[in-house]
Chain A
Amino acid sequence: EVQLVESGGGLVQPGRSLKLSCLASGFTFSNYGMNWIRQAPGKGLEWVASISSSSSYIYYADTVKGRFTISRDNAKNTLYLQMTSLRSEDTALYYCAREGLTTEGIKGDWFAYWGQGTLVTVSS
């Protein structure tokens, strides 16, 4: 069974930093691209960042570029999101999500599995 468990969220002051983690199990982590997606309270979904299986390709939303860093440790089956210069508008539930796979075994840019999320609140 695929499991993704996020941690590291909490209350942080504006301008400070926070690092999120996502521990993966139930699949070969090193074979899949991973993503961070966030949801502000009562709002919709916003893609934040993605990283390919070998970390060769990394992409960010414009809203976080230059402030957030996505990374992974395939030996530890763990995905990370280092967040710096946090703003009130970064307040959200942060989900990690695995890329999809067709029945023919072809990977695709949809989000097949999601963790339960970790809440980040940026407030003074």
Chain B
Amino acid sequence: DIVLTQSPALAVSLGQRATISCRASQSVSISRYNLMHWYQQKPGQQPKLLIYRASNLASGIPARFSGSGSGTDFTLTINPVQADDIATYYCQQSRESPPTFGGGTKLELK
């Protein structure tokens, strides 16, 4: 299985940029497709899709969220961070079955 590694937590100040990383144990890219996706989960809520295929903003997601990366290294950026963005963020790969998730990065206020 492809293992996705995320830092457990990231402290950020409101109005600043947050950069959340996800590293895969092997490439999750096929030709021009980067098969990494990002989700936001707030306490007591279901996950919500933010970004699909590394850089495509999901419907209804604010433009302060963006994604980048290819191969094994991917980044979710939130700029500027707002109070409503305090949550846990998960990456997920669909390059190989089974689909796997990172352990999650909890975004905290500094």
Q: Which label, helix, strand, loop or mixed, suits the secondary structure of the B interface?
A: loop
Total A-B residue pairs with C-beta atoms closer than 8 Å?
58
A95 adjacent to chain B (CB < 8 Å): yes
**Within 8 Å CB of B100, what residues of A?**
47
Contact with B along A64-88 (1 / 0, CB 8 A): 0000000000000000000000000
Q: Is B92 an interface residue (CB 8 A)?
A: yes
Contact A117 B46 (CB under 8 A): yes
For chain B, the bracket of interface size reads: 20 to 34
Residues of B with C-beta under 8 A to A62: 98
A-side interface size class: 20 to 34
Chain A residues with CB below 8 A from B102, complex form? 44
Q: Is the CB of B47 within 8 A of A111?
A: yes
Chain A residues within 8 Å of B48, by CB: 114
Main secondary structure, interface of A, reads: strand
- Report the nearest B residue to A113, measured CB to CB: B49
Which residues from 81 to 124 on chain A have a C-beta closer than 8 Å to any C-beta of chain B? 95, 100, 102-103, 108-117
Kindly state whether residue A11 has any CB partner on chain B within 8 Å.
no
Residues of B within 8 A of A103 (CB): 56
Q: Which residues of B contact A100 (CB under 8 A)?
A: 37, 49, 52
Whole-angstrom distance between the alpha carbons of A47 and B103 in the complex? 13
Q: A45-B101, A59-B98, A100-B52 are in contact. Are A112 and B58 (CB under 8 A)?
A: yes
CB contact between B52 and one of A59, A61, A102, A117 (< 8 Å): that residue: A102
Contacts of A113 in B (CB 8 A): 49
CA A66 to CA B37, docked complex, whole Å: 29
A47 proximity list for chain B (CB < 8 A):
98-101
A116 lies within 8 A of B47 (CB): no
Tell me the nearest residue of chain B to A95, going by C-beta.
Answer: B46
Q: Is the beta-carbon distance between B101 and A110 smaller than 8 angstroms?
A: no
B residues touching A (Cβ–Cβ < 8 Å)?
35, 37, 39, 45-49, 52-53, 56, 58, 90, 92, 94, 97-104
